[in-house]
Structure 1
Amino acid sequence: MKPKNVKERRSSFIKFLLLFILTTTTIMVAVFFNFRVPQKENALLKERAKNMEREMQFQKTFASEIDGIKSMIDSLDIPGQNVSFINNLIGSKLADVQTTIPREDSTYRYNMYLGVIETLVDLQKAKKELHGLADAKSKIEEYKVALESTRNELEQTKRDRDILRLSQK
């Protein structure tokens, strides 16, 4: 005894099987993405966190080095210092700090670090010029004293001339 609706049953079974496979596959893909995507995202976020930690550590060391260089530049104002030695030391420290700047950082930070170093170099040059002008300041004072004495001599000579003219008349 054969059923009369074998084709319909087979067709229904195939439709059921296809829908079952489609549904099961959809669920499996959803579960896969639910677990795999967050793992990749976590790995990416961990890498970013490591980069930020490295950047923070570099900023700490950079700031401490810059503070040391600033104190050395400030020590140039103290009288009796060996200015040329300190200038050479500052130059070598600035070169060392510049070489520690990470090259892979092509963002604004790299330019910022270079800007800080260039500013310190400019400050060092300005201090050097200021020390050169300190000698000029003492010379200007000497010249002012000499000018004043020369003016006094000129006034005295004018008086002597006027007296001589009056006495000759």
Structure 2
Amino acid sequence: MDILNKKERLSAFLLFLLMFVITTGVLIAALFYNFKLPLKENELLKQENDKITEQFAFQKQFSEKVEEITTMVDSLDKAPESFQFIEQKINFELVELNEKIPADTDQELKVYDNTILIIKNLVNAKKALLQVNDSKKEIDLLNNQIKSYEEENKDLIRDLELARQLNRRP
């Protein structure tokens, strides 16, 4: 006996087989992405976490170094005799600190560069203030000299008047 709907049965079986393969493929692909993508995502998140940890470590190191430099800046007022030495040391520390700034930091903020510039401007302002104070001391010294010269002039004018009066008397 021969099957009457052999072609329909074969096409239905092939259609079923095709749908089964497609469905199974989609299921396997979903499972693959379910396991593979989180691993890649975890790896990316770990890299980002490491980068953020490095940035925090650098920020802490930068902050500690700025505190040391700030202490040196404060000592500029206390030791005007060694101002130039301390200023050179501060400049050296600032250059060293600037070289340690990582290249991959956020260039939009430039907080590190601005901090270094502010410290440098503070040192320059203290230097100008010290020069103004030195100038003020020199001005006070010159004013005292002017006063003594004025007193000396008064004495000389009085002596001159006395000499003129003595010369007029015959």
- Shorter-chain TM-score range: 0.7 to 0.9
Cα drift, residue 149 of structure 1: 5.3
Aligned pairs for 1:10-159 within 5 A = 10-79=10-79, 81-109=81-109, 111-148=110-147
User: What letter is aligned with 2:61?
Assistant: T
CA–CA distance in structure 1, aligned partners of residues 135 and 80 of structure 2? 18
Q: Which runs of 4+ in 1 moved over 2 A?
A: 104-109, 142-158
Cα drift, residue 55 of structure 1: 0.1
Cα drift, residue 6 of structure 1: 0.4
Aligned to 1:4: 4
**Count of aligned residue pairs for this structure pair:** 161
CA–CA distance in structure 2, aligned partners of residues 73 and 81 of structure 1? 14
Cα drift, residue 143 of structure 1: 3.3
Name stretches of at least 5 consecutive residues in structure 2 with no aligned partner.
165-170
CA–CA distance in structure 2, aligned partners of residues 79 and 16 of structure 1? 93
- Write out per-residue CA displacement over residues 103-158 of structure 1, whole angstroms, 9 at most, x where no aligned residue: 1225334x211111111111111111111111111122223334555667788969
CA–CA distance in structure 2, aligned partners of residues 85 and 52 of structure 1? 37
User: What letter is aligned with 2:2?
Assistant: K
User: What letter is aligned with 2:55?
Assistant: E
Name stretches of at least 5 consecutive residues in structure 1 with no aligned partner.
165-169
CA–CA distance in structure 1, aligned partners of residues 24 and 40 of structure 2? 24
- Write out per-residue CA displacement over residues 31-58 of structure 1, whole angstroms, 9 at most, x where no aligned residue: 1111111111111111110000000000
Cα drift, residue 22 of structure 1: 0.7
CA–CA distance in structure 1, aligned partners of residues 93 and 28 of structure 2? 60
CA–CA distance in structure 1, aligned partners of residues 100 and 130 of structure 2? 30
CA–CA distance in structure 2, aligned partners of residues 148 and 9 of structure 1? 128
CA–CA distance in structure 1, aligned partners of residues 18 and 79 of structure 2? 93
Q: CA RMSD in A?
A: 2.4
Give TM-score, length-normalised by structure 2: 0.83
**Matched residues, percent identical?**
32
Cα drift, residue 81 of structure 1: 4.3
Aligned to 2:167: none
Q: Structure 1 residues 115 and 80 mapped into 2: Cα distance closer, same or farther (>3 Å)?
A: closer
